[in-house]
Amino acid sequence: MRHLTEEQLIEYGYGEGNKAFIEEHFAACRECEKAYGAVQSDLAEMKFADPPQREQPYGHNVWGRLRQQLPDYEVRRRNWLSGQWFRGLSYALAAALVLASAFAGGRLWERRQAEIAATSHVAPLPPVVKHPPQRVVVVVLSDHLDRSERLLVELKHVDADSTEMVSPLRDEARSLLDANRICRQNAKQDDDPALTGALDHLDRLLAELANEPGGLNKATITRLQDEMNKDGLLFEVRVLRSRIPHAQGAGVESSKGGTI
Amino acid sequence: MLRMDKNDHAAIQAVLSGNKNAYGALVVRHSQSLFRVAFRITGNEADADDVVQEAFLRGYLKLETFESRANFGTWIYRIAVRCALDKISSINRMNDRMRVGTETDPEQDEIQVADETAGPDRLLLSGEIAAMQRDAMFSLTPTEQAAFVLRHMEGRTTEEIGDALGIAPNAAKQAVFRAVQKLRRRLSSLKVRT
């Protein structure tokens, strides 16, 4: 049989533990019962002096000493509340400040990014915006004057007897005729009398070259050569052509920009 | 008791409403019981008075946390036990620092008395035995000492002891057991078995 522990006996001595089990054990075990007798005796001997009696006004004396130490409760509570409120408000303000800063920083960054992006995207566009539609005509005019100059040079030096040489002149004159009319119309709108006058002379010459009834014969070629020399048309075209290069440069750039 | 609880709660409400003097009624009503347990744990009147004062002060400052369904007497008693525990802990620490390394020889402390009969010698020496028991009490740890007082002198249950000391019931039971075990061994040296 397993004996009860000292802990079980002490617990039983104070009226706790499994009483039924312990009493049943005592009935069967004299040794444990004797051991419990010793515990009971020791507990009974543990008698300590009773606390000294305090006089009736003891409580009042305690209160008298204590009262002076106690803060006013409502004031203290208000202070406590205000402290809590202040602390809470501080945290809320700090959090709001952080959020506002983050928001403002984000907005600034976003705006800056947008500006950078806009600048980088817009950069190639200004030439398109800056160039008015007539720049397209400038490009055509420049080209047209080039081709016209070559045609006039060929006409000046052409052999009137050779039909093989004359025929390409007529074809070229036909192809230049439409372009010349457009250029002349545009020059007229731009109120450029020098250009308009030169293109008028060129128009008559091209029209005769292209549409001479009976074809270009020696007499017609000679007559046109004489008119060209007399009017100084080749010189006039060259002068106009020399005026073009600056504009032509811009025009070439604009054409590269996609205007044409 | 019920009337007293109602009075306690009314006084507490009055204090929380700003009437500081209402706390005086609570102090007057519960001072005696607090002094009793404080004296049993600390072992002297001056310390017990300090504990009572400290307990009521702590109680006042924590009054807002007091639950209206609880019993103020039990609540302030628990505070007083912890104050007393703090007191004897600080006293023990101070004594440890002041100790110069000399250990008392237990043999010299022995007072040999017969334990079978309540003869005249035993009666004469009973006062001295009581003093020795007090010394034996102070050989316990503060927790063991407080647990033993609550169990042996105040008749508190294991759960109540654990609640008052802020420990688990099983730990409270172990503290009581260790205290009794130590005291029994200490007291056995005072006896001459015949």
pLDDT reported for residue B116: 45
pLDDT reported for residue B147: 94
Which candidate from A14, A58, A60 shows the least CB-CB separation from B35? A58
If pLDDT is split at 50, 70 and 90, which confidence band does A12 have?
Answer: very high
- A34 and B CB contact within 8 Å: no
Distance from CA of A83 to the nearest CA of B (A): 16
- Cβ neighbours around B31 below 10 Å, total: 26
A58 contact residues in B (CB cutoff 8 A):
31-32, 35
Residues B160, A117: Cα–Cα separation, whole Å: 75
Structure tokens at A24: 């049943």
A63 contact residues in B (CB cutoff 8 A):
23-24, 27-28, 31
In this prediction the ipTM stands at: 0.77
- Cβ neighbours around A147 below 10 Å, total: 15
Q: Please write the tens of the pLDDT for every residue from A84-133.
A: 666 777 888 899 999 999 999 988 888 888 888 877 655 555 555 555 55
Mutate to test the interface with B, among A4, A5, A14 (most CBs of B within 10 A): A14
What backbone phi and psi angles, to 5 degrees, belong to B113? Answer: -130, 150
Residue with more model confidence, A85 or A241: A241
Is this structure's pTM higher than 0.80? Answer: no
Judge: A49–B134 Cβ closer than 8 Å, yes or no. yes
B23 contact residues in A (CB cutoff 8 A):
63, 70
What residue ranges define each of the domains in chain B, with the CATH number in brackets? 2-97 (1.10.1740.10), 104-192 (1.10.10.10)
Residue with more model confidence, A26 or B95: A26
pLDDT reported for residue B122: 54
Q: Please write the tens of the pLDDT for every residue from A128-173.
A: 555 555 555 565 788 888 888 888 888 888 777 776 777 788 888 8
Tell me, what DSSP letter sits at residue B103?
P
Mean pLDDT of B121-137: 68
pLDDT higher than threshold 50 for residue A213: yes
Judge: A69–B57 Cβ closer than 8 Å, yes or no. yes
Judge: A42–B183 Cβ closer than 8 Å, yes or no. yes
Contact B183, B137 (CB under 8 A): yes
- B186 and A CB contact within 8 Å: no
For residue B134, what is the nearest residue in chain A, using CA coordinates?
A48
Q: Please write the tens of the pLDDT for every residue from B23-82.
A: 999 999 999 999 999 999 998 899 999 999 999 999 999 998 888 778 899 999 999 999
Single-letter residue type at B118: A
Which candidate from A45, A62, A77 shows the least CB-CB separation from B56? A62
- Cβ neighbours around B116 below 10 Å, total: 10
Write down the domain spans for chain A: 6-45, 72-123, 128-256
Sort strands B191-192 and B113-114 into parallel, antiparallel or unpaired: parallel
- Cβ neighbours around B132 below 10 Å, total: 18
End-to-end CA distance of chain A: 116
pLDDT reported for residue A248: 47
Structure tokens at B178: 């260790």
- B53 and A CB contact within 8 Å: yes
Distances (CA, A) of A72 to B11, B27, B46, B65: 15, 16, 28, 17
